[in-house]
């Protein structure tokens, strides 16, 4: 299959091979080619250049892109896409004055979702999740990480991960999965956290690894959820099974989760709404990607991750949605990029780098995704006619994507 895109107004995020991520001041630069062409062959980016040198070759399809821009598709490195039902009632409770914490303390929150999920069949769960997956693909996401964590029993956690596995097989979007058994304490373990941690580490994780159901391990390291000690345990156990950590830290409190993650060479530390100077310093020169989730801050009315400080400290930053029923019922990366600019003061260049190449790093896909690079998977966004790429975050809430191509094939 060969496809030639011609007269692309601007081809965005054009990089040579070998760039894994961009950090600090480098994030301000977004390399582009104006008036460009791009050739897709067998699902990969075969070549690209300026229209002056457009190859005169026979292709199966030629697409005129006059006035339109092309970008690599978004990478969403943190979602909880598999869940049953919704938590609309808690949303209303919060409007009426309850906090996220108060709702969780009275049996709502994650355990509420777990109860619903345990009662839902695998088939039904697949169908509900599939709708959300289709939705985010249309919104321009070409690679996504999906977590378990609303099961909280061995059976229900495995059910979630099997749903993810089936989606991997059936959809053209690239999917990575994380085992998040330590998401919340199930009510039956209310007075024995250690017994639940033991069950997750010694019973669930070996089964998950045996069935090859996860790429990573995760934990909600937070006051009232799981401790630093638990974090060490799960990251260490994950490492034994070849699964690196991608962990929830510093959402409401800074308790040392970042340092624990770095100690075990976690792939990413996510949330980061509450950051002490020492947390920022700890991330310097680490291989761990800091991931900010601004639509979670919007939905819960909590602080935004201080990404300006992080970038000034020469760190890389990635952006993700956190799509889940409790804290972020939205999988819209376009909105995330707008919020990053509006609320966290990232420039459009920084936000696009954070949602593409750095996000790809956060799920070990930098070699194949996250930039317009020869040989990478042809996961591409073609915009409508827009004046500049800065218009994407500026004109927030509108859909500026005309067509999405995954492995070179247009989504219908």
Q: Map tokens 């039956």 to a residue.
A: 188
Comparison of 61 and 101: residue with beta carbon closer to Fe ion: 101
Q: Indicate whether 248 belongs to the interface with ligand NIG (CB under 6 A).
A: yes
Nearest position to ligand NIG, beta carbon: 326
Q: Which one of ligand NIG, Fe ion, none interacts with residue 259, CB within 5 to 8 A by kind?
A: none
Which residues from 163-202 bind Fe ion, rule CB under 5 A?
Answer: none
Residues that bind ligand NIG (rule: CB under 6 A) add up to a total of: 12
Q: How far is the CB of 59 from ligand NIG (least distance, A)?
A: 44
Q: Map tokens 């002490």 to a residue.
A: 276
Q: Determine the Cα angle at 26 with ends 306 and 296, to 5°.
A: 30
Q: What is the C-alpha separation between 31 and 11, in angstroms, rounded?
A: 9
6 phi, psi to nearest 5 deg: -120, 160
The answer to whether 321 and 332 are in contact (CB under 8 A) is: yes
Q: Which of 322, 349, 350, 364 binds Fe ion (CB under 5 A)?
A: 322
End-to-end CA distance of the chain: 17
Residues that bind Fe ion (rule: CB under 5 A) add up to a total of: 1
**Beta-carbon contacts of residue 400 (< 8 Å; ≥ 6 apart):** 334, 383, 384, 386, 391, 392
The half-sphere exposure of 303 on its side-chain side, counting CA atoms within 13 A, is: 12
Q: Which of 110, 133, 280, 362 binds ligand NIG (CB under 6 A)?
A: 110
What is the dihedral sign for C-alpha 202, 205, 207, 210?
negative
Comparison of 22 and 291: residue with beta carbon closer to Fe ion: 291
Q: Which of 231, 250, 251, 288 binds ligand NIG (CB under 6 A)?
A: 251
Q: What is the C-alpha separation between 135 and 402, in angstroms, rounded?
A: 14
Q: Which of 84, 204, 296, 336 binds ligand NIG (CB under 6 A)?
A: 296
- The strand pairing partners of 45, in sequence order, are 40
Comparison of 326 and 348: residue with beta carbon closer to ligand NIG: 326
**Beta-carbon contacts of residue 156 (< 8 Å; ≥ 6 apart):** 114, 117, 118, 150
Comparison of 76 and 322: residue with beta carbon closer to Fe ion: 322
Q: How far is the CB of 255 from ligand NIG (least distance, A)?
A: 14
Give the gyration radius of the chain's Cα atoms: 21
Query: Going residue by residue from 191 to 230, which x/- string records binding to ligand NIG, judged by CB under 6 A?
Result: -----------------------------x----------
- Cα–Cα separations (whole angstroms), residue 355 to 193, 285, 320: 36, 21, 7
Query: 24 is written with which tokens?
Result: 């600090």
Comparison of 23 and 141: residue with beta carbon closer to ligand NIG: 141
Q: Indicate whether 330 belongs to the interface with ligand NIG (CB under 6 A).
A: no
Q: Indicate whether 218 belongs to the interface with Fe ion (CB under 5 A).
A: no
The answer to whether 122 and 80 are in contact (CB under 8 A) is: no
Q: Which of 14, 27, 109, 330 binds ligand NIG (CB under 6 A)?
A: 109
Q: Which one of Fe ion, ligand NIG, none interacts with residue 73, CB within 5 to 8 A by kind?
A: none
Query: 71 is written with which tokens?
Result: 């970008």
Comparison of 87 and 403: residue with beta carbon closer to ligand NIG: 87
Q: What is the C-alpha separation between 219 and 157, in angstroms, rounded?
A: 14
Q: Which of 32, 324, 338, 358 binds ligand NIG (CB under 6 A)?
A: 324
Query: 43 is written with which tokens?
Result: 């699902």
Q: Which one of Fe ion, ligand NIG, none interacts with residue 32, CB within 5 to 8 A by kind?
A: none
Q: Which one of Fe ion, ligand NIG, none interacts with residue 13, CB within 5 to 8 A by kind?
A: none
Which residues here bind Fe ion, judged by CB under 5 A?
A: 322
Chain residues in the site for ligand NIG (CB under 6 A): 109-110, 113, 220, 248, 251, 296, 322, 324-327
């Amino acid at each position: 299959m060969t496809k030639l895109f011609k007269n692309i107004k601007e081809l965005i995020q054009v990089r040579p091979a070998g760039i894994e991520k961009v950090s600090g001041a480098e994030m301000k630069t977004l390399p582009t080619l104006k008036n460009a062409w791009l050739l897709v062959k067998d699902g990969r980016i075969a070549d690209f250049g300026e229209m002056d040198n457009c190859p005169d070759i026979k292709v199966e399809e030629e697409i005129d892109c006059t006035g339109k821009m092309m970008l690599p598709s978004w990478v969403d490195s943190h979602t909880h896409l598999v869940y049953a039902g919704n938590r609309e009632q808690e949303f209303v409770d919060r409007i009426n004055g309850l906090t996220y914490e108060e709702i969780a303390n009275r049996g709502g929150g994650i355990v509420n979702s777990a109860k619903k999920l345990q009662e839902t069949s695998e088939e039904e769960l697949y169908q509900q999740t599939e709708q959300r997956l289709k939705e985010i693909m249309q919104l321009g996401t070409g690679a996504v990480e999906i977590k378990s964590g609303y099961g909280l029993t061995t059976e229900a956690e495995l059910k979630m991960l099997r749903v993810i596995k089936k989606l991997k097989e059936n959809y053209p979007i690239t999917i990575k999965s994380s085992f998040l058994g330590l998401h919340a304490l199930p009510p039956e373990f209310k007075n024995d956290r250690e017994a639940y941690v033991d069950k997750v580490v010694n019973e669930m994780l070996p089964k998950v690894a045996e069935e090859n159901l996860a790429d990573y391990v995760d934990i909600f390291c937070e006051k009232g959820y799981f401790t630093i000690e638990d974090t060490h345990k799960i990251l260490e156990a994950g490492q034994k099974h070849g699964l690196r950590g991608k962990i929830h830290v510093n959402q409401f409190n800074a308790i040392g989760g970042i340092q624990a993650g770095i100690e075990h060479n976690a792939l990413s530390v996510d949330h980061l709404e509450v950051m002490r100077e020492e947390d920022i310093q700890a991330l310097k020169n680490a291989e761990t990607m800091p991931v900010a989730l601004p639509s979670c801050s919007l939905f819960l009315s909590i602080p935004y991750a201080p990404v300006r400080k992080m970038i000034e400290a020469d760190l890389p930053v990635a952006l993700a949605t956190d799509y889940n029923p409790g804290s972020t019922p939205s999988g819209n990366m376009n909105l995330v990029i707008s919020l990053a600019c509006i609320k966290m003061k990232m420039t459009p260049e920084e936000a696009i780098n954070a949602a593409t190449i750095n996000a790809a790093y956060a799920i070990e896909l930098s070699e194949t995704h996250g930039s317009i690079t020869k040989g990478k998977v042809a996961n591409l966004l073609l915009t409508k006619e827009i004046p500049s790429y800065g218009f994407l975050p500026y004109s927030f809430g509108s859909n500026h994507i005309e067509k999405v191509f995954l492995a070179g094939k247009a989504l219908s």
